[in-house]
Amino acid sequence: MTAPDRTETGRTAPDHAVTAAIAEIAQAIGTAAVELDPEARERLSRDEYRMSPVLRRTLPVVVADAVVTPISVDDVVAVMRIAVAHGVPVTPRGKGTGNYGQAVPMAGGILLDLSRLTGIEEIGDASITALAGTRIVQLEQALRRDGRQLLLLPSTMQSTIGGFLAGGTGGSGSIEHGFIEDGFVLAIDVVLADGRGLVHLEGDDVLPYLHAYGTTGIIVRVTVAHEPERDWTSVLASFEDFAGARRALMALIALEPAPRIASTDMAEFGRAFPKPMTLHPDTASLRTVVDRSALEEVESIIASHGGVVERVEHSLPAEFQVCMLGFNHATWHLISAEPDRWFHAEAMGTALVERADEVLAVWPGAIQHLDAMRDRDGSPMPIGMIVAPYTTEAAIFEGVERLRELGLFASAPHSWTVNRRIDLLTETAAVTDPRGILNPGKLPRG
Ligand code: FAD
């Protein structure tokens, strides 16, 4: 298997169109919202793609001509009207934590920084409405004051809710509630690039805008679901033997009520974690957030698989620390410590546990982080981050093929094009963005 096709791009709009658009935008929403400083443009034209040694080498590096920072929905509507009229590319950006270069403006033009389009507008009985640049942690904190919680939280809790819906998949809460397409998103307001401006969407109509990297429209307002909070307790445990930790994780997947998150990793990961979360440098670790009513059962699961409970804490900060070390965050700490050494691949399926030795043999020196997850029918479906020393791009993609032969859903996060529901997104973008100005290069177009 070779690397997937990539939609190459470079600057697509003529200089005079870009210059005219920037001048009109400054006039429409104010010069303070338009950043032209080269250092700021360069810095904001990047995201966390540096996690991938492949993307560090292959991602077309283009710097936006201007960073535009709207503070109201009307600002976004005005910017999009001008950009459409001039055919100038617009790449939305939340907090820039995407790790595939999704928020990199590969065709230059305007980088639309949505991080100041913030504010919680309404908290209903089971829904919360906020502007797209609001940080997810702020939504969660506001809900927790009322005894409620978001259904889903990515480990990047400081990222924006709009960026999570446009670039993310799931996180804490996913064991019980699945991914962002599974009922979390109740409504969105989107600014389209087809002259219609702002539209309100509900139900299945939101789907073409989820995990679409902003290629179908700019999300400006979201309404997502919340539920009663649980009496959460954080449990940290160490295991001499990672096989025991893996089996304990599988038992936690079946636990009722479901843990909010459960993660385990080999000792190498723990050594790169922030100090309070490193247990022992030479043991595997397991972290979970569970309902207090299940604590005794959890302690017994850990002990019966050879683990030692190191810490039990009943506080919001402790819970957030565990949530912020799941999924790609464990990988991020490891790779950030030695960026030239590692690459990572993602996989889902029970073979991560049942055929663990074969999985780890795919790449020499591979190590593993696992998160608990259930399939839609409730059966265990662990998610794994496999990290290994980087040799060549071909070796990564050959290894991903081998993981699939082992029965896993596997992907290598080393490509910047959208990777899910491509037909739906392409059909939608043909209508909502006929000039192809939204985040060019991320969606194959016919
Ligand atoms: P950005 O990275 O700025 O943008 C993400 C994508 O959405 C880009 O394509 C951008 O163009 C587009 N976009 C941004 N805002 C909008 C908008 N308002 N309208 C339309 N398009 C928009 N993801 C998970 O799902 N779960 C995790 O647990 C998780 N953990 C992560 C851990 C680490 C260490 C890293 C580096 C990444 C992780 N991610 C995770 C991926 C990513 O960080 C999240 O999806 C995050 O929520 C993205 O939010 P952001 O505000 O940083 O968006």
For 254-310, give the DSSP string.
Answer: T-SSPPSEEEEE-HHHHHHS-GGG---TTSEEEEEEEEGGGHHHHHHHHHHTTEEEE
Closest protein CA for atom 12 of ligand 1: 213
Same domain, 371 and 269: yes
- Last residue of a domain, which of 48, 80, 113? 113
- 146 found inside a domain: yes
Residue 446: per-residue pLDDT: 56
Domain ranges, residue 343: 232-411
Atom of ligand 1 nearest to the CA of 220: 18
Is the minimum distance from the CB of 169 to ligand 1 under 6 angstroms?
A: yes
263 lines ligand 1 (CB under 6 A): no
CA of 156 to the centre of ligand 1 (A): 8
Mutation probe of ligand 1 site: the residue of 113, 328, 415 with most atoms within 8 A of C-beta: 328
User: Quick one: pLDDT at residue 414?
Assistant: 85
Question: 177: Cβ below 6 Å to ligand 1?
Answer: no
416 lines ligand 1 (CB under 6 A): no
Ligand 1 centroid distance, CA of 47 (Å): 9
Return the pLDDT at 4.
40
Number of structural domains (the chain) is 3
pLDDT for 9 equals 65
pLDDT at 6: 46
Domain co-membership, 381 together with 256: yes
pTM over 0.85: yes
Residue 168 Cβ inside 6 Å of ligand 1? The answer reads yes
Q: Are residues 271 and 293 in the same domain?
A: yes
Q: With a 6 A CB cut-off, is 156 part of the ligand 1 pocket?
A: yes
CA 48 to centroid of ligand 1, rounded, Å: 10
Same domain, 198 and 329: no
Per residue in 144-153, pLDDT (tens digit) is 999 999 999 9
Q: Is the peptide bond before 257 cis (omega within 30 degrees of 0)?
A: yes
Rounded Cα gap, residues 423 and 212, in angstroms: 11
**CA 3, CA 9: separation in Å to the nearest integer?**
17
pLDDT at 7: 53
Question: Ligand 1: which residue has its CA nearest to atom 9?
Answer: 213
Cα-to-centroid distance, 343 and ligand 1 (Å): 19
Q: Is 161 in the pocket of ligand 1 (CB under 6 A)?
A: no
Single out the residue in 79, 113, 147 at which a domain terminates: 113
Q: Which residues of the chain have pLDDT under 70?
A: 1-9, 445-446
Q: Looking at the domain assignment, is residue 443 inside a domain?
A: no
Domain boundary among 229, 255, 286: 229
Ligand 1: atom nearest CA of 115 is 51
> How far does the centroid of ligand 1 lie from the alpha carbon of residue 307, in Å?
34
**Same domain assignment for residues 136 and 163:** yes
Please indicate, yes or no, if residue 225 is contained in any of the structural domains: yes
Query: Tell me, what CATH number does 100's domain have?
Result: 3.30.43.10
Q: Which is the closest atom of ligand 1 to the Cα of 190?
A: 19
- Give residue-wise pLDDT tens across range 215-227: 999 999 999 999 9
Probe target for ligand 1 pocket from 97, 100, 411, with the most ligand atoms within 8 Å of CB: 97
Question: Measured in whole angstroms, how far is the alpha carbon of residue 146 from the centre of its chain?
Answer: 26
Assigned domain for 151 exists: yes
The answer on 197 and 104 residing in a single domain is no
